[in-house]
């Protein structure tokens, strides 16, 4: 395996973005590239993650390339997934030896459309999508399964939200934050019972950019490279009725294959758009009680679809680089009831 | 940076519609034919019991499945979420539940809506429910309007015109509505059109002009906040002839689409050629924008109705080769 380090990271999340994809992405890409110490033409490969359905602009993913400089032609690829999967593709390409560095970016702009309807399009198009269930409802079904099985309580869900919103107060990229008590949150009305507003993701528009570099070059570029020590992604069956919704086996397997349990974790950054999903994931990852979860606030504080997973990885890397820990698990999750899961283990030098 | 660039971005309604028609394959054909005939059909798997809707393959072993099993039509709620404010298109427009329902004889949950008269207290895990069938069924998941408490359910009424043919495909139209935001550079361009001006973005250094502007110079990834007016005349650098009808085409078929390099710009601009006998369109021909009447100019490319031929000599290919 080639050692690959995250050498630079930048993000932007706002509640509603007025600029087009190029205009939102360009300044953040510039910040990340300048932060990497590499010149633009020293970056071997570019890989992005986005979905044009979100803002309703066909081929926005192609247009966005203008923002990172696409002429003369560059070597690039795109996944219709969270940018975390674009990072995976770049990491694999580096493992093949074909390239030694990569720029990864993702963007999500959900404010122009009806995110609930757009997300229904990811369901089984024969029997699921035509009923137009929104993700709040499907996640509500999952949450109630967990409540019924005694896997979570509404109080624990509120505790997760309290902690996330408190952590978010020190995250300049959070769009929802605050200091609440569990009692205050539990007194709020349901949005889609058993979920309240704070149990649901804080949708935002934004972009994320990361630069990764292999081997010694990474050591030259930064004081404390943050190394990718393990990387894996897995998927659960698409039919909700087939899954045990109190479990997310694909997340557990991805973390295991990435080697999360091989050594002590100082903290984790995970993608749990709904509060009960954080509680499920803690169990799936076998986290000790003293492991801090989502110092960033996670998706309850800012949830830029297609970017939030890459944000978790970047947030973890920035924290390690700054000395806020030596070893962390970062996780990205996508799909109804977190069907698709990706885990990456990061270590500081 | 121009003042225009810093104005609030334009926004407007934007709709994407697709009339998706999907073929079913043999397994889902059995399921949808069953719905049309007023019954529910599952399939037996080795590892997960009886699945509804039927799956083609075992979710764990990927073994092909073929043993169909009649299930339900009643069953019990295994989990649900209560939708107090239904959204447009959802199966019910009063408070209802989305639920996973374990149909009698099935092992996996089946997702559908449950109507309990808008009263959340009337549903719980374990509640017995059965389908409320539509009278006229076509072989679609919405042939079941929703599930209702078992005591209120009625058997599926027979079709007025029974169909023997199995269901081969399902049609599910998609319509998504957006409040589209044009961004900074495109807003400048669109506002220019409302004033009968074509504005291009100047690349940093000023050597190239991009029309329409997308926001950045792809050569150096720099924003392009400066604008310059270009001519409404130009040269056709490529074209194609449209012969296939579509609902949103307002021109008589066949007609010619052109990429026109406007005088003073450096990327081609897409539009339509009219007032030119078919067969006379050619690379290098000179054209001019035909603007909409002044009182119909808007912040839209529709402000230019089409391009029409200009009585000027053709531009030699060598001079436009780079843009063809």
Q: Which of A315, A300, A238 is nearest to A84 (CA)?
A: A315
The domain ranges of chain A are 4-114+206-221
B14–A193 C-beta distance less than 8 A? no
- CB < 8 Å to B140, chain A: 130
Q: In CATH, what is the architecture of A4-114+206-221? A: 3-Layer(aba) Sandwich (3.40)
Number of Cβ within a 10 Å radius of residue A151: 17
Please indicate whether, in this complex, the C-beta atoms of B81 and A192 are within 8 angstroms of each other. yes
Proportion of chain B above pLDDT 70, given as a percent? 99
DSSP state of A319: H
Residue pLDDT, tens place only, A112-138: 999 999 999 999 999 999 999 999 999
Distance CA A330, CA A313 (A): 5
Asked if residue A135 lies in contact with residue A119, where contact means CB atoms within 8 angstroms, the answer is yes
pLDDT average, residue stretch A11-38: 94
pLDDT at B204 (0 to 100):
85
- A130–B217 CB contact, under 8 Å: no
β-pairing verdict for A190-193 and B169-181: unpaired
Angstroms from B267 CA to nearest CA on chain A: 13
Q: What's the rounded Cα separation, in Å, for the pair B202 and B120? A: 60
- Asked if residue B98 has pLDDT above 80, the reply is yes
Whether the CB-CB separation of A316 and A193 falls below 8 Å is answered with no
Higher pLDDT, B65 or A349: B65
Chain B partners within 8 Å of A150 (Cβ): none
Q: How many CB atoms lie within 10 A of CB B25?
A: 12
Lowest mean pLDDT among A130-144, B4-18, B28-42: B4-18
- ipTM summary value: 0.94
A34-48 per-position pLDDT tens digit? 999 999 999 999 999
Flag whether pLDDT at A259 surpasses 60.
Answer: yes
Distance from C-alpha of A88 to C-alpha of B75, rounded to nearest angstrom: 43
Q: How many Cα neighbours within 13 Å face the side chain of A220?
A: 7
Residue in B closest to A133 by C-alpha: B90
Whether residue B1 is predicted with pLDDT greater than 60 in this model: the reply is no
Contacts with A, B 196-235, CB within 8 Å:
214-223
Residue-by-residue DSSP string for A230-258: EEEEEE--S-GGGS-TT--HHHHHHHHHH
Integer Cα distance of A278 and A143 in angstroms: 11
Chain A hits for B53, Cβ within 8 Å: 126-127, 239
Which value, to the nearest 10 degrees, does the dihedral of the CA atoms of residues B102, B108, B113, B117 take? 20
Q: Which of B20, B215, B322 to mutate to test the interface with A (most CBs of A within 10 A)?
A: B215
What span, in angstroms and rounded, lies between the C-alpha atoms of B227 and A97? 44
For B160-213, how does the pLDDT look when each residue is reduced to its tens digit (9 = 90+)?
Answer: 888 889 999 999 999 999 999 899 999 999 999 999 999 999 998 878 999 999
| Distance, CA of A14 to CA of B198 (rounded, Å) | 32
Give pLDDT tens digits for A266-278: 999 999 999 999 9
Inspect the interface and report whether the beta carbons of A131 and B53 lie closer than 8 Å: no
| CB contact A26 to B (< 8 Å) | yes
Q: What's the whole-number mean pLDDT along residues B4-15?
A: 90
> With an 8 Å Cβ cutoff, are A125 and B22 in contact?
yes
In the structure encoding, which two tokens stand for residue B315, read together?
């531009």
Q: Which structure tokens are listed for B299? A: 């912040």
Q: Residue range A288-316: average pLDDT? A: 96
A188 touches chain B (CB under 8 A): no
Q: Which of B53, B186, B218 sits opposite A20 (nearest CB)?
A: B186
Pick from A40, A141, A242: CB nearest B80 = A141
Residues A133, B111: C-beta atoms closer than 8 Å: yes
Q: Is-contact B129 B101, C-beta < 8 A? A: yes
Across B85-99, average pLDDT:
96
Give residue A289's pLDDT band: very low, low, confident or very high (50, 70, 90).
Answer: confident
- Predicted TM-score (pTM) of the model is 0.94
pLDDT the model gives residue B2: 67
Q: Is the pLDDT of residue A282 over 70?
A: yes
Average pLDDT of the residues of chain A: 96
pLDDT higher than threshold 70 for residue A51: yes
pLDDT of residue A11: 97
- Prior bond of B254 cis (ω within 30°): yes
Q: Kindly determine whether residue A241 and residue B109, on different chains, have CB atoms separated by under 8 Å.
A: yes
Q: How far apart are CA B315 and CA B237, in angstroms?
A: 10
Taking the C-alpha atoms of residue A85 and residue A309, their distance in angstroms, rounded to an integer, is 9
Residue (of B263, B269, B254) closest to B234 by Cα position: B263
Residue B313, min C-alpha distance to chain A (Å):
33
Q: Which residue of A has its CA nearest to B52?
A: A241
For chain B, the structural domain boundaries read 25-167, 183-323
């Amino acid at each position: 395996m080639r050692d690959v380090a995250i050498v630079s990271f930048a993000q932007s999340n706002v509640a509603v973005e007025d600029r087009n994809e190029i205009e939102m992405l360009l300044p953040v890409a510039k910040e990340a590239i300048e932060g990497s110490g590499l010149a633009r033409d020293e970056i071997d490969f570019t890989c992005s993650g986005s979905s044009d359905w979100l803002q309703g602009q066909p081929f926005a993913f192609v247009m966005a390339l203008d923002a990172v400089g696409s002429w003369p032609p560059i070597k690039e690829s795109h996944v219709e997934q969270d940018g975390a999967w674009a990072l995976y593709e770049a990491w694999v390409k580096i493992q093949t030896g074909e390239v030694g560095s990569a720029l990864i970016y993702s963007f999500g702009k959900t404010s122009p459309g009806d995110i609930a309807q757009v997300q229904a399009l990811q369901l089984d198009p024969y029997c699921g999508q035509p009923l137009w269930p929104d993700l709040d409802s499907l996640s509500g079904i999952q949450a109630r399964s967990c409540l019924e099985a005694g896997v979570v309580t509404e109080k624990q869900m509120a505790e997760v939200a309290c902690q996330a919103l408190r952590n978010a107060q020190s995250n300049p990229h959070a769009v929802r934050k605050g200091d609440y008590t569990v009692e205050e949150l539990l007194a709020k009305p349901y949005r889609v019972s058993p979920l309240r507003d704070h149990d649901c993701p804080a949708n935002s528009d934004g972009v994320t950019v990361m630069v990764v570099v292999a081997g010694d070059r990474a050591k030259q570029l930064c004081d404390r490279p943050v190394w990718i020590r393990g990387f894996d992604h897995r998927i659960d069956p698409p039919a909700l009725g087939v899954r045990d919704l109190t479990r997310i086996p694909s997340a557990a397997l991805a973390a295991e294959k990435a080697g999360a349990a091989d050594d002590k974790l100082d903290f984790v950054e995970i993608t749990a758009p709904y509060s009960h999903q954080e509680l499920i994931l803690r169990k799936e990852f076998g986290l000790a009680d003293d492991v801090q979860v989502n110092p960033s606030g996670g998706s309850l504080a800012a949830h830029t679809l297609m970017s939030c997973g890459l944000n978790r990885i970047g947030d973890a890397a920035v924290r390690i680089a700054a000395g806020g820990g030596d070893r962390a698990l970062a996780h990205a999750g996508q799909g109804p009831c977190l069907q698709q899961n990706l885990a990456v283990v990061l270590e500081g030098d | 940076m121009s003042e225009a660039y810093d104005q609030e971005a334009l926004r407007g309604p934007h709709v994407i519609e697709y009339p998706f028609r999907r073929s079913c394959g043999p397994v889902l054909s059995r399921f949808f034919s069953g719905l049309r005939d007023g019954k529910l059909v599952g399939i037996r798997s080795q590892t997960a019991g009886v699945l509804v809707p039927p799956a083609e393959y075992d979710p764990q072993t990927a073994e092909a499945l073929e043993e169909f099993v009649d299930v339900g039509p009643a069953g019990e709620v295994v989990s649900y979420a209560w939708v107090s404010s239904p959204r447009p298109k959802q199966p019910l427009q009063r408070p209802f539940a989305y639920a996973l329902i374990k149909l009698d004889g099935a092992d996996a949950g089946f997702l559908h809506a449950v109507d309990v008269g808008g009263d959340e207290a009337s549903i719980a895990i374990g509640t017995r429910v059965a389908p409320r069938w539509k009278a006229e069924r076509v072989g679609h998941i919405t042939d079941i309007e929703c599930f209702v408490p078992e005591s209120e359910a009625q058997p599926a009424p027979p079709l007025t015109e029974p169909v023997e043919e199995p269901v081969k495909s399902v049609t599910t139209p998609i319509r998504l509505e957006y409040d589209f935001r044009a961004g900074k550079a495109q807003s400048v361009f669109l506002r220019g059109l409302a004033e009968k001006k074509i504005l291009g973005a100047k690349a940093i250094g000023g050597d190239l002009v991009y029309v329409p502007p997308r926001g950045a110079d792809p050569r150096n990834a720099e924003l392009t906040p400066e604008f310059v007016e270009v001519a409404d005349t130009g040269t056709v650098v490529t074209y194609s002839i449209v012969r296939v009808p579509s609902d949103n085409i307002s021109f008589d078929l066949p007609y010619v689409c052109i990429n026109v390099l406007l005088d003073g710009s450096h990327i081609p601009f897409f539009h339509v050629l009219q007032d030119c006998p078919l067969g006379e369109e050619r690379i290098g021909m000179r054209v001019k924008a035909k603007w909409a009447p002044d009182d119909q100019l808007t912040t839209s490319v529709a402000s230019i109705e089409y391009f029409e031929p200009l009585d000027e000599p053709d531009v030699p290919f060598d001079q436009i080769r780079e843009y063809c």
